[in-house]
Chains A and B, each alone.
Chain A
Amino acid sequence: MALFIVVVLLLPIFAPSFYTYVFALVMVNGLLAMSLNLVLGYGGLYQFHHGVFYGIGAYAIALILTKSPVPWWLAFIAAPIIAALFGLVIGWICIRSTQLYFGMLQISLGSLVWIITSRWYDFTGGDNGINNIPMPSFLTSGKEIYYFILAVLAISIAVMYRVVKSPFGATLQAIRDNPQRCEAIGVNVRHHQLIAIVIASFFAGVAGVLYVGLERSVFPDMLFWVLSLEVFVMCLLGGWFTFAGPLVGAGIIVILRTFVSIYTEYWTMIEGIILILLIFFLPQGVVGFALGRVGRKAQAAEETVQVSERGAKV
């Protein structure tokens, strides 16, 4: 673990810039997947169109930096907040429904955002997206952006970890496991779910901002449902009942996609095969499987029980 942290810290110094870029992309996708897992794994909500908040964060910063005189630092803060506001509105509408209907309502609202973005040429650039987004002078080289992404990711992970381990996080997991019972003992279920959606869309927006920092462009496909399901795959691959699982899943998917695409144009087929093998043989994900193997399964189960009990008391 310590070795891994040293490698991550020193990577841009000894590795070629291409590897630095790939690893930065892993961190961006990892943050996106972890933010989805807040509502999916911990909240048990069918957040089918999480990618839309990622896209909104990216478009928000792109539009602010290209079309307004607002200073860059304000744009970096404003974009995730705009994503969180969309999360508030879309979430407020969606939590009226549950399960599959929740997911479908979210897909229809997300599609609305997607279709407007891809048609509004005067404002969003339509299908062409926005390119050559200006970045502040200290974020121009690959090395600088790598460390920026690493720092933001570390802070985000720390905050998300606090959220999960807080009484709020415990209540959220209790709602996931037994919503009726929580309702019965006076927990405001929808209120908690809505807050979780807002927090998750905020961090999805942060991931969108980091993506723009890395790529300096945005395009409407970031808001399309296919991307959202790919984030789902990252969560499943890593294990969606574990905190770090989605980060690992994102790492595996992004690295495989990058290197497989060098040799073949049929990456999506390989992704599909991996997904089906996972569902058949490893539904608990890589991290979930590893935790099970080192015998922490019993401990984890105990922890879940404690969490549910704590949640029940809140």
Chain B
Amino acid sequence: MAFGQDLVGAVTSQLLVGLSRAMILFVVSAGLSFVLGVLRVPNIAHGSLYMIGAFAAFTITALFGQALPGFWLALILAPLAVAVVGLILERALLSHLYQREHLMLILFTFGIMLILNDLVKIGWGAEYRSIVPPDNLTGSLTIGDLPLPRYNLFLLIVGPIVAVAMWLFVNRTRIGKISRAAAVDREMVGVLGINVSWVFAAAFVIGCFLAGLGGALIAPTTSITLGMDRTVIMDTFLIVTIGGLGNIWGALIGSLIFGLTQSLGLLLWPQFAVVFPYAAVVLVLLARPKGLLRSVW
């Protein structure tokens, strides 16, 4: 019996870890997917924007105190700061390149990633940083016999909020509907007399905001450091691909697959737990080469 209970406890806590990891991945990959869908830009620099979000959250909590105002301010201000970076990038550079082929856009955003990487190095240095969440999000909540970390539970609330907000934005607001239309047929939207250029700018800024939000959300759970952009961009690109390019719900499903296979894989084979998500991606793409849900491409 004791063994059975241990197993249930281990599975539950790994499920929670996997789900909360999936929520952060979802926030980041929803932004990536939205930009892919509306702008047709595979934004390699998305991971760098996520990293900037995490570093900005560190600076904001350092300025306003670890405790109450700091972390909550960081959750709002860090993504906004990243959104501003995104707006500058889009208006100054990216907006001139929409006619180019995907390969050029990938290389362009890779160039942006290289530059942002060194700018972060100049701004924050190469040391490891960390932040502590406010008191009411630290420690764990005991349900039954199981201690469940509060911060992970908090992430389980944030993820669905972002999903619903994105759904409301895309389906209920004017600019959301225009951006959805632009994803399907951008010439037609232009013909209707809508300034597509600003719709694209808005879509890109929203994508960047989500990258920054993901970075701010992950900040208390990990060490913030250079190089965190490189794995997250690979993971989120794979998530977006298995979900169906540009499909936000696909990004949600892909994130769940990615997060859960890794955390549950840890129970099966600890040394190779990180292999499971990539193996899952390969299996999904073998079965459905165009992703699980309908791609907007």
Contact B115 A105 (CB under 8 A): no
**Which size class do B's interface residues fall under?**
35 or more
Q: Is A252 positioned at the interface, with any CB of B under 8 Å from its CB?
A: no
Contact A276 B108 (CB under 8 A): yes
Cβ contacts under 8 Å, B238 to chain A: 104, 107-108, 111
A101 to B97, CA, bound (A): 22
Cβ contacts under 8 Å, B278 to chain A: 108, 111-112, 115
Q: Is A148 positioned at the interface, with any CB of B under 8 Å from its CB?
A: no
Contact B107 A233 (CB under 8 A): yes
Q: Is A100 positioned at the interface, with any CB of B under 8 Å from its CB?
A: yes
Produce 1/0 per residue, A273-310, CB < 8 A to B. 10110011001000000000000000000000000000
A116 to B276, CA, bound (A): 10
Contact B275 A119 (CB under 8 A): yes
Contact A97 B114 (CB under 8 A): no
In the complex where A108-B285, A266-B118 touch, is A275 in contact with B234 (Cβ < 8 A)?
no
Q: Which of B113, B118, B245, B297 has the most CB of A within 10 A?
A: B118
Chain A contributes a number of interface residues (CB within 8 A of B) equal to 37
Q: Is B119 positioned at the interface, with any CB of A under 8 Å from its CB?
A: yes
Cβ contacts under 8 Å, A280 to chain B: 96
**B280 nearest in chain A by CB position:** A108
In the complex where A108-B282, A266-B121 touch, is A279 in contact with B108 (Cβ < 8 A)?
yes
In the complex where A269-B119, A283-B104 touch, is A107 in contact with B234 (Cβ < 8 A)?
yes
In the complex where A99-B102, A119-B271 touch, is A269 in contact with B286 (Cβ < 8 A)?
no
CB B52 to nearest CB in A, in angstroms, measures 15
Q: Which of A108, A116, A236 has the most CB of B within 10 A?
A: A108
Contact check: which of A120, A236, A265 meets B107 at CB < 8 Å? A236
In the complex where A111-B278, A115-B278, A269-B119 touch, is A229 in contact with B241 (Cβ < 8 A)?
no
Q: How many A-B residue pairs have CB under 8 A?
A: 111
Contact B290 A107 (CB under 8 A): no
Contact B107 A119 (CB under 8 A): no
Cβ contacts under 8 Å, A116 to chain B: 272, 275
Docked complex: A72-97 residues within 8 A CB-CB of B? 93, 96-97
Q: Is A157 positioned at the interface, with any CB of B under 8 Å from its CB?
A: no
Contact B274 A105 (CB under 8 A): no
Q: Is B55 positioned at the interface, with any CB of A under 8 Å from its CB?
A: no
Q: Is B103 positioned at the interface, with any CB of A under 8 Å from its CB?
A: yes
Q: Is A232 positioned at the interface, with any CB of B under 8 Å from its CB?
A: yes
A105 to B289, CA, bound (A): 8
Contact A276 B93 (CB under 8 A): yes
Q: Is A211 positioned at the interface, with any CB of B under 8 Å from its CB?
A: no
Q: Is B165 positioned at the interface, with any CB of A under 8 Å from its CB?
A: no
Contact A101 B241 (CB under 8 A): yes
CB A90 to nearest CB in B, in angstroms, measures 10
CB B296 to nearest CB in A, in angstroms, measures 13
Contact A112 B282 (CB under 8 A): yes
**A264 nearest in chain B by CB position:** B118
26 A-B pairs with CB atoms under 8 Å apart are A46-B102, A100-B245, A101-B245, A105-B241, A108-B278, A109-B282, A111-B234, A112-B275, A115-B274, A119-B274, A265-B121, A266-B121, A268-B115, A268-B117, A269-B114, A272-B111, A275-B108, A275-B110, A275-B111, A275-B114, A276-B93, A276-B108, A279-B97, A279-B100, A279-B111, A280-B96
- Name the 5 nearest CB pairs between A and B, nearest first: A272-B114, A269-B118, A275-B111, A272-B115, A104-B241
